[in-house]
Structure 1
């Protein structure tokens, strides 16, 4: 079984289902919990800091994606500013020295240390997790690299890097810093099943051993042809707003996805993305029961299920026989 920290609306848990592994998630946000319950996912509504591995004795795999707001480029950057302190805290934890997350400022920054606390508590209790799967925005890669040294000292094989999600079947360009660790055998990051997206390069061009990336049009076939006009990453200048056609993958899905404009080939405004459509661009099934409030934020914060399935299989040491499909 997997215990999923910061489990959100269930992206990693659905990925666990795709990989054939049961899971239980811990989530404090009531809106995400409402979605999880509607989806029938095992859920503990609470703060991961109040729990530990002893509360989940059947869990063999630890997984999680701590909140990214203080690390992401779109945020204020408190986590990036506190990076040196975070790396120092990781080293102290590995040496079993006390750490006060309050010195890192924004309490969300300190949450990036929680998976390591869980892993070390389990090891010290003589019941280490057999596998670990972590994912975050790419700005957290340095934190995962610091984790590597600590986890290897605990006997884990560890692999970490930044993956492009369109290479794992997602109809969206999104880069995620990931870490996969395993006891009792070697571990490697999952091999991509699809080609990387390059603007202006045809979908069928590139490495013939890999399948083409998936376009928005393929994920949303009922929409017909359309163009998405981004409202972020522009510095406020409408002339800099990015555009992608339905024949390309989506921009990175964020909590602002409901603000994206869609126009038809003649430039006429189209209805904006529904929660189901936005969820599909994040790798969820079309019928995922989005519930509660702030659904765009839930979708933007979610772990893409198809990527999660590939990471879980890597942590288990199971070669992926084929690309997992969310729908």
Structure 2
């Protein structure tokens, strides 16, 4: 029965494409379609009819390997049906949430299957006034999201992707959308991503971080990642060669490789997580190659990211004509958080240059570990249990304590062992979150160890506001100071007025557009 239902899908695709070809021929007769349009439509209809005939034969004869061919035909048919339904609906006008809710169940099912795992509305051009669409890869429990919405005060139509069930559960409990999946299993050229304008990534840092085993710093690993990055731009169609005829630079056509084949050499890495740095170039360039409207990229990584990898990433963006590409190191405690967190950030803008700096107009007050948790002065934090005393210093060997009267050490996955030296009070998830800039009631999910690990890996919401504020042209300093005041009771300047919340709309994102104004078709087509 299941195979017969799948065969019905292939037959439905053939009927829909035949009807589409009829409409195109009628449009050609009325002068609203070209002869080439008719030929393309007829070709699609013929291929769909042939696929239906082939599936009938496969189901009847069942030759060796027929299941794989049959399943591929069914998947292709589902995509064809979804594409045709979406195109017909878009031709009738803007697809708003209200209009989508009025569609019949069967149509919504077709669109949901075609858009999966992304929101079905993302298949359509954003309606006037719709929020900018953003995807957040390696999204974690919500540091980027919290910084954008709760600190910066910006609403985005954003979906995050992460492999951790617990991290996704935390983000969902906080009101953020998550897809539980491996980033490399998803298609960066998915049709639902054509209207995404922002991309945020936080690839795992363990392969580069001093707290990890640093396998990503081995020269063989660096060379392999650089080589893969070199092929990213070429496969996406952005490689340039010198034309000997007139000494002009021309773009090389896209290669026939798949993105899986481009990534394949990375399996040789000793720490496979290092290879995920390739996604920083793969996703935005693939989205552009598929006709997408991506405008900006933000990435967070260990401050020890090798310079050679940074250079290779910069080269790929600049080769693809991105106007602004910068790497900068930001230390969270210098922006008022109660623990240190030094990270490397990429900020790339395709058209325009950022005008909001990442440095505050005046220093932000330092928050101590003790002040954040409302401890008395003079406390210490024990990080590694009881250790032998060094007779030369009179202190435990191994540096297992730090003063709580200043910003604490950077949280790591081992921070679950931290406790107050005076009475053994253990670090709990809400306190771990507060130390890095989350509100006290942030809904951490999973076990205590899992929640603290999530807090150790996440981007500080404060730094998220700084980075995204720079990219969106939003003044971030006043919202950050107000957030720190609510969180830690950090004093506010007597008169603190950085500037308006929004810059003048219009023009490139980095030149002042905080949102896509109206998102009319002509506006977006100019930014393509």
TM-score category, normalised to shorter length:
0.7 to 0.9
Could you tell me how far apart the structure 1 residues matched to 2:446 and 2:195 are?
30
CA displacement at 1:227 relative to structure 2: 1.2
Cα 1:16/1:153, change in 2 over 3 Å? same
Rg: which structure is higher?
A: 2
Cα 1:302/1:314, change in 2 over 3 Å? same
Could you tell me how far apart the structure 2 residues matched to 1:274 and 1:103 are?
38
Could you tell me how far apart the structure 2 residues matched to 1:215 and 1:36 are?
27
Determine the structure 2 residue equivalent to 1:215.
368
CA displacement at 1:58 relative to structure 2: 4.1
Consecutive aligned runs of 4 or more in structure 1 exceeding 6 Å deviation:
none
Could you tell me how far apart the structure 2 residues matched to 1:246 and 1:76 are?
28
Asked whether 1:284 is paired with 2:441, we answer: no
Unaligned runs of 5+ in 2: 1-132, 236-254, 256-261, 391-395, 488-528
Determine the structure 2 residue equivalent to 1:31.
166
Determine the structure 1 residue equivalent to 2:416.
258
Residue among 226, 229, 232 paired with 1:87: 226
Residue among 353, 358, 361 paired with 1:191: 358
Residue among 236, 244, 255 paired with 2:402: 244
- TM-score under structure 2 length normalisation: 0.54
8 Å Cα contact 1:187-1:315 kept in structure 2: yes
Task: Give the alignment of 1:152-167 within 5 angstroms.
Answer: 152-156=318-322, 157-167=324-334
Determine the structure 1 residue equivalent to 2:183.
48
CA displacement at 1:118 relative to structure 2: 0.5
Ranked by relative contact order (alpha carbons within 8 Å, sequence separation 6 or more), the top structure is 1
8 Å Cα contact 2:380-2:403 kept in structure 1: yes
8 Å Cα contact 1:159-1:179 kept in structure 2: yes
Asked whether 1:11 is paired with 2:143, we answer: yes
- CA displacement, residues 18-42 of structure 1 (integer Å, 9 cap, x when unaligned): 3303221001111111111211211
Residue among 224, 238, 241 paired with 2:376: 224
Cα 1:152/1:11, change in 2 over 3 Å? same
CA displacement at 1:242 relative to structure 2: 4.9
Task: Give the alignment of 1:291-306 within 5 angstroms.
Answer: 291-293=445-447, 294-306=450-462
SS, match of residue 269 in structure 1: coil
SS, match of residue 209 in structure 2: coil
8 Å Cα contact 1:93-1:117 kept in structure 2: yes
8 Å Cα contact 2:205-2:302 kept in structure 1: yes
- CA displacement, residues 84-119 of structure 1 (integer Å, 9 cap, x when unaligned): 221222222223273422132432221111121111
More helix by share: 2
Q: Which moved more, 1:273-282 or 1:316-325?
A: 316-325
Unaligned runs of 5+ in 1: 195-208
Q: Which moved more, 1:148-157 or 1:185-194?
A: 185-194
8 Å Cα contact 2:358-2:470 kept in structure 1: no
Residue among 476, 480, 498 paired with 1:320: 476
Could you tell me how far apart the structure 2 residues matched to 1:120 and 1:169 are?
35
Cα 1:231/1:88, change in 2 over 3 Å? farther
